[in-house]
A = this chain, B = another copy of it.
């Protein structure tokens, strides 16, 4: 058995292929499917058979969360293999028992940043051995085991081998915005399970914003009663979320975004606002940056914040507490002479310094509550104590600079999964780029990163399809060796994990199909699915122009909501196109032509469906465009094959056709158009 650093991934791949050939089995290839890619993997000969006698022994001194995690592991193992295990529940009775799956844990883990999460997994023919310092590491190992499951004929097996693994960064999270659209507890729970499956360890809840104050507060109940449209977490639910997450090795970091993004607070308590003469605010239904801001000169504001934070500190045991602090443009402060006077009196030269004053007050409150204050980039002002932690949404430079200045920091810029960019755009964003200039000590300030799921354009039924499986790519960036980065292989593995994530209740696949079924109005929705798999929602902030096209109460049950960022067939088409342009191989050409034919035949089916399904109209219009683009592709391929140069007229016409084909329909756009454009460009450059 040879230990292999994943840094030499190509070598490993070759070795695995050779091994597989020698072993006459493909089961050991499953070691290549694991996401995030482990630090070290080696494969050996032989297969461990999963049968009804599979039994877990717990050894050592784990935190009790391991029992529940092991029981859930058994249920998933059984669910995936179809084996009716005799052993159904793992309890203390499994301690030291004579099982064929031994989990050994040295000491109970603590849910703190930097806790040991490493594990070592050894699979032999007759026995699996999972060793870890803490049960948190062991639980990551259980996820790896589930990803190694294969079949030998009809027998479920795990190929012999060894994994030595630990995370690259200690803070690997997902931020969920539950304010813009509320996401009830069941959505949170299933996403926690998803995070655990890809070895993430932080759930950051963005609990308040202009569009909703989403927690029960006993000291000032008007906050949720008037600021949530009845959609909020009770304190019991918050406790349930925290303990559900802790059971799965996930820390929960609460965020109360102040002093801006505060319309919901002010709808409930207008007396805390900054703009003079305003007696009432009303809930924000649009998306964007709004003026309502807490008044940093009003003692009542600090009273309320202290009360809210004190209640929440008792519910969220995590050491970190997030105060937001972003995008306060200070317009309402400028409009208020008393606030301006206060600013002058204290010698603050601008609103940033005033906000720094505000932040320092909160820091004091949080410090008294034994919490470390976290905020977005904007909180980093002259004199901010080094105990504060910066979440960077502005970019990698801001992140590196915070670390250099001695602040703990983690990255979200580049991980805005709500913007519907391709996963490729997120995958290569590294919180600690190879060319960084930081000292080791400074580099250690970079804790990791968080995928950020802002919720202006998602509802509970659609949010999973924005988060998954893409977040697994970010999880890999934060866990795996820096060198890991084969995009095609990532897509391959995302497809595998995607199906596995469904077993946790995640609805990223089902919700899309459900919407398409509805749009088809009782007809077969397959033809819609085919177009949807070539279409993506408009990217960045373009889907919702001005933040006003969609309101909080707008429908998210339509065509764009059934489309995703990394539409499957568009990725396949892209890879085939790239390959064709590289080598003009017959295979790549055949793959392209298969796609083009499918689009044509699908159009006929779609034309039938749309007659009885008005809401499917966007799919039909896109199909018209797609087939026009396909015609251009056909001709371009013909030029390419024959080695002749198209005429300027053809190029002009092709360009126009593709431009029109690329126009949005139903807030979505066709993905392959861009690839066909590249092909046409290529024709004129170096054919």
A residues neighboring B (CB under 8 Å): 68, 74-75, 78-85, 88-89, 151, 153-154, 184-186, 229-230, 234, 236-237, 240, 285, 460-461, 495-496, 499, 502-503, 505, 507, 509-511, 513-514, 517-518, 522, 550-558, 614-615, 617
Contacts and interface: CB of A to CB of B under 8 A. Distances in A.
B499 A82 contact: no
Contacts of A461: 505
A154 B557 contact: no
A509 B520 CA distance: 15
Contacts of A553: 74-75, 78, 85, 88-89
A231 to B, nearest CB: 11
Contacts of A617: 154
A550 B511 CA distance: 30
A603 to B, nearest CB: 20
Copies of this chain present in the complex amount to 2
A495 B553 CA distance: 28
Contacts of A79: 555-557
A78 B555 contact: yes
A69 to B, nearest CB: 12
Closest 9 CB pairs of A and B: A88-B553, A186-B186, A510-B510, A79-B557, A236-B236, A154-B614, A78-B555, A79-B555, A151-B614
Contact of A78 (B85, B230, B502, B554): B554
Residue with the greatest number of chain B CB neighbours at <10 A, chosen from A68, A88, A154: A88
B517 A502 contact: yes
Residue with the greatest number of chain B CB neighbours at <10 A, chosen from A79, A80, A153: A79
B517 A229 contact: no
Contacts of A83: 555
A458 to B, nearest CB: 14
13 contacts: A68-B230, A74-B553, A75-B555, A82-B615, A85-B553, A88-B551, A89-B553, A234-B236, A460-B505, A495-B522, A499-B518, A510-B510, A510-B514
Nearest to A77: B555
A427 to B, nearest CB: 21
Contacts of A502: 514, 517-518
A153 B614 contact: yes
Contacts of A75: 553, 555
B186 A82 contact: no
A149 to B, nearest CB: 11
B522 A496 contact: yes
A555 B556 CA distance: 34
Contacts of A499: 517-518, 522
Nearest to A496: B522
Contact of A517 (B84, B509, B614): B509
Contact of A554 (B84, B89, B503, B511): B84
A551 B88 CA distance: 9
Residue with the greatest number of chain B CB neighbours at <10 A, chosen from A81, A496, A554: A554
Given A461-B505, A503-B518, A555 B154 contact: no
B503 A84 contact: no
A367 to B, nearest CB: 32
Contacts of A85: 553
Given A81-B555, A84-B554, A513-B513, 13 more contacts: A75-B553, A78-B554, A78-B555, A79-B555, A82-B555, A82-B614, A84-B555, A88-B552, A186-B186, A460-B505, A509-B517, A510-B513, A510-B514
Contact of A82 (B460, B511, B557): B557
A425 to B, nearest CB: 26
A153 B611 CA distance: 9
A82 B558 contact: yes
A260 B445 CA distance: 61
A614 B510 CA distance: 23
Nearest to A75: B553
Contacts of A554: 78, 84
Given A505-B461, A517-B502, A557 B510 contact: no
Residue with the greatest number of chain B CB neighbours at <10 A, chosen from A68, A460, A496, A503: A503
Contacts of A285: 88
Contacts of A514: 502, 509-510
A153 B557 CA distance: 19
Nearest to A549: B84
Contacts of A88: 285, 551-553
A502 B514 CA distance: 7
Nearest to A84: B554
A237 B234 CA distance: 10
A598 B503 CA distance: 31
Contacts of A552: 88
A545 B461 CA distance: 38
Nearest to A229: B89
A237 to B, nearest CB: 8
A590 to B, nearest CB: 19
A264 to B, nearest CB: 14
A502 B615 CA distance: 17
A277 B660 CA distance: 84
Contacts of A496: 522
A511 B503 CA distance: 10
Contacts of A517: 499, 502, 509
B503 A557 contact: yes
A224 B329 CA distance: 52
A80 B557 contact: yes
A334 to B, nearest CB: 31
A672 to B, nearest CB: 21
A679 to B, nearest CB: 28
